[in-house]
């Protein structure tokens, strides 16, 4: 199910035990993964908007409570005064919404106007899980490590998602971690 010909894609880096976060931070710093995330979620565009990302409040706060450069952020929060408390009202690059449907509907409208063909769901755990029913593609960086004390996890992939592309295993010099990029696509029912 897509929103007006706009692809909904998820992107995350996960450990072998599906950990995506620890103390509201990434549990590792793999430079190539951060570059991959930036490349995937931004697209050179004549318009000033180069990408659209949808995330939960904790994910937004894990990034320093600042919208990502060149991208428009849709932040899902149940707090009715979240935009005011965080000085996000009247900004073009950040919108606070109160549920995933509103985020995707508004993001799709913006994507259409900005000629962007993908809306990126970037976390956290509950947003990923709730978004599966709308998701067409998932980009996961599989990091070869187990995080025993993590507190945020990527949900189990629904069975209708299958691997469509997979990179070679790579190695991060600084962390000594191995990783690979894997693309999953929803199969036709």
Question: Each residue of 94-145: pLDDT tens digit?
Answer: 999 999 999 999 999 999 888 899 999 999 999 999 999 999 999 999 999 9
Mean pLDDT of 166-171: 97
Q: What is the sign of the dihedral through the CA atoms of 59, 30, 141 and 119?
A: positive
**How many Cβ atoms from other residues are within 10 Å of residue 74's Cβ?**
24
Confidence of residue 159 (pLDDT cuts 50, 70, 90): very high
- Tell me the pTM: 0.94
Check residue 12 and give its pLDDT: 98
Q: Tell me how many domains the chain contains.
A: 1
- The answer to whether residue 87 is domain-embedded is yes
Which CATH number is 31's domain given? 3.40.430.10
* Structural domain boundaries enclosing 40: 7-138
Residue located via tokens 């919208």: 67
The span from the CA of 163 to the CA of 178, in Å, is 19
- The answer to whether residue 127 is domain-embedded is yes
- The answer to whether residue 68 is domain-embedded is yes
pLDDT in tens, 38-61: 999 998 765 678 999 999 999 999
Task: Kindly state the tokens that stand for 59.
Answer: 């994910």
Instruction: Give the DSSP H/E element, type plus range, for residue 103.
Output: helix 100-114
- The answer to whether residue 63 is domain-embedded is yes
Burial status of residue 102 (CB atoms within 10 A of its CB: 0-12, 13-18, 19 or more): middle
- The answer to whether residue 35 is domain-embedded is yes
């Amino acid at each position: 199910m897509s929103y007006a010909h706009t692809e909904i894609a998820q992107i995350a880096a996960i450990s072998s035990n599906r950990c995506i976060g620890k103390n509201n931070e990434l549990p590792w710093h793999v430079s190539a993964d951060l570059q991959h995330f930036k490349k995937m979620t931004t697209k050179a565009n004549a318009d000033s908007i180069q990408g659209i990302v949808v995330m939960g409040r904790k994910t937004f706060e894990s990034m320093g409570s600042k919208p990502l450069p060149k991208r428009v952020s849709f932040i899902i929060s149940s707090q009715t005064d979240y935009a005011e408390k965080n000085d996000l009202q009247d900004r073009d690059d950040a919108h606070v919404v109160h549920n995933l449907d509103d985020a995707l509907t508004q993001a799709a409208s913006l994507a259409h106007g900005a000629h962007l063909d993908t809306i990126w769901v970037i976390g956290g755990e509950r947003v990923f899980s709730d978004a599966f029913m709308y998701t067409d593609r998932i980009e996961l960086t599989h990091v070869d490590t187990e995080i025993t004390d993590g507190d945020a996890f990527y949900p189990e992939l629904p069975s209708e998602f299958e691997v469509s592309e997979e990179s070679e295993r790579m190695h991060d010099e600084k962390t000594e971690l191995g990783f690979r990029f894997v693309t999953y696509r929803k199969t036709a029912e």
